[in-house]
Amino acid sequence: MKVLVDASAYLAVLLNEPEKQYIIEITKGAELISPEVLPYEIGNALSVMHKRKRLNREQVIKCFEIFEFIPVRLENADMFTALDIVCRFNIYAYDAYYLALAKQLNLPLLTLDNEMKDVAKKLKLKLLEA
């Protein structure tokens, strides 16, 4: 099974959020796929948590080291599809990259982001609920 996974799910695992175990269980044995922007989005989220004093420097580095051990295939999302989704649903481009790639590859989407779930439903994408 192949699953398109967004940054919120990776971050839940990295930060030991309550959804961590369920995410690990439903993706066990699956090929994880994400847009090429994923490492940058993870880095940005970790930097925001550091800036807000939620994580210290060592925790930020450790989280990214753990992230690098997660096997994920990074793919290029079609920019025209992503921008169409941005304009149709008034969402951020980074969210649209995941949705466009899920649509492009016909894959179920795993996200914890409620707005992304709503748009995915409108696009008739399959969701894996966490």
pLDDT tens by residue, 11-60: 999 999 999 999 999 999 999 999 999 999 999 999 999 999 999 999 99
Distance CA 82, CA 49 (A): 27
> In sequence order, which residues have a C-beta less than 8 Å from that of residue 86 and are 6 or more positions away?
92, 93, 96
| pLDDT given at position 44 | 97
Distance CA 31, CA 45 (A): 23
CA distance 65 to 61: 6
Map out the domains of the chain as residue ranges: 2-128
- Residue 63 has, within 13 A of its CA and on its CB side, a CA count of 25
Entry pTM: 0.93
pLDDT for position 130: 66
Statement: 2-128 belongs to CATH 2.60.34.10: no
DSSP strand E in 36-80: where? 72-75
Q: Tell the burial category of 49 from Cβ atoms under 10 Å away from its Cβ (0-12, 13-18, 19+).
A: middle
What is the rounded distance in angstroms from the CA atom of residue 26 to the CA atom of residue 110?
9
Q: What integer best gives the mean pLDDT of the chain?
A: 97
Percent of the chain with pLDDT over 90: 98
